[in-house]
Amino acid sequence: MSEIRPQPDASPAATPEEPERGERAGVPETSRIESWLRTLIGFENARVVGVEPLTDGLSNVTCRLKVTDGPVTTAVLRIQPTRGIFEPYDVLREGRVLSHLAGAAVPVPGLLAAESDPRFFGSPFLLLESIDAPHMPAPEADFATFAADLPAFAAAVAGIHALDWKAAGLDFLGVPSSPVEAFRGEVETVARRMHAFGCADEPLLNRALTRLRESTPSGGRLALCHGDPNPFNYLFRDQQLVGVVDWEQALISDPRSDVGQLLALSHLRGAVPYGPPRETRSCSCMRHRPAKPWRAWSCSERAGSSSSVSSTTAGRPTAPNRGSPGRRSRTSCLVLLPSYEMGSSD
């Protein structure tokens, strides 16, 4: 759906200076949401009859709106947080990514509106198309469905990496001079978050940071990376991918960046062979690699033949070496896991 822009003169009632009492964990009151919504062209008479907080994420305040008397019946309100695990936040940047990906091979929710004025809900925010479909289930909850969705999930990640980001106008994300510089930039972003969370002196984090800085992989290519390829961000209907959400961490980097994120997520969720994450906080985890995410990535590389990242043999990862995805990915787990546990989430 095309972007819906605000009316030229927003009602003063729609821009309160102070939040109303009784708001739930950053979710605005229905009356305030409705007041703002009516400033949009096409929504002048709209009514918000339901607000459902969505709790899967750890960053933005996100809720699903049920709307009557407007051009859509449901929408998603996504409000930028002030603190969280992916600081600094820029929800308007995410909205710009979604706008440029409209009509791309990878399905994304349509951008309905983007608002920079913090007087409405305390921070900038987006209004997005609502996609009525569940995300991939956790393997421990429904392994059969999880396994059935894996091929489409892997193909989608490979499809993102295959997109022509230059033609899509995504160079505003920042274009590193090389994959090596892209990796270094990501590592330094994590280092800055360590200081922000007050854990810059954590010995394990510093050992991991040193290892990352010393083992930057060579080769590779620049591509659009999702930045948060959490399977929960991939929405399915009848084993068909119908939406990819949460693009706040999108970047131009080497596809191995997303591979590292997948392995880090496996560690966080206690996937085999890591076990419960709070029981594996030692460098010994570098001797292991989770099988399922690697098999999923192997599938994605076969689905996206243009990618040159795959380090697999007969569907299994080869022994990692300097410059392979494996080495960086395992050390990435060490940085991301403690920063998640020690940092304050929303």
Residues 45, 17 contacting (CB under 8 angstroms): no
Give tens-digit pLDDT for 75-92: 999 999 888 778 889 999
Q: Which pLDDT does position 276 carry in this prediction? A: 52
Instruction: Give the residue-averaged pLDDT of 36-63.
Output: 88
Measure the CA–CA gap between 18 and 30, rounded to whole angstroms: 15
Give tens-digit pLDDT for 200-209: 999 999 999 9
Residues 339, 85 contacting (CB under 8 angstroms): yes
Least trusted range by pLDDT, from 19-23, 130-134, 163-167: 19-23
Measure the CA–CA gap between 234 and 241, rounded to whole angstroms: 7
The model's pTM is 0.74
Residues 7, 40 contacting (CB under 8 angstroms): yes
Select the more confidently predicted residue: 286 or 153: 153
Candidates 57, 90, 78, 58; CA nearest to 125 is: 78
What 3-state class would DSSP assign to 260?
helix
**What is the pLDDT of the chain when averaged over all its residues?**
76
Residue 121 pLDDT class (50, 70, 90 cuts): very high
Candidates 156, 213, 219, 223; CA nearest to 332 is: 213
Select the more confidently predicted residue: 345 or 73: 73
Select the more confidently predicted residue: 253 or 326: 253
Domains of the chain, first to last: 12-129 (3.30.200.20), 143-342 (3.90.1200.10)
First to last CA, the chain: 30
Measure the CA–CA gap between 244 and 248, rounded to whole angstroms: 12
Q: Which pLDDT does position 265 carry in this prediction? A: 81
Q: Which pLDDT does position 341 carry in this prediction? A: 30
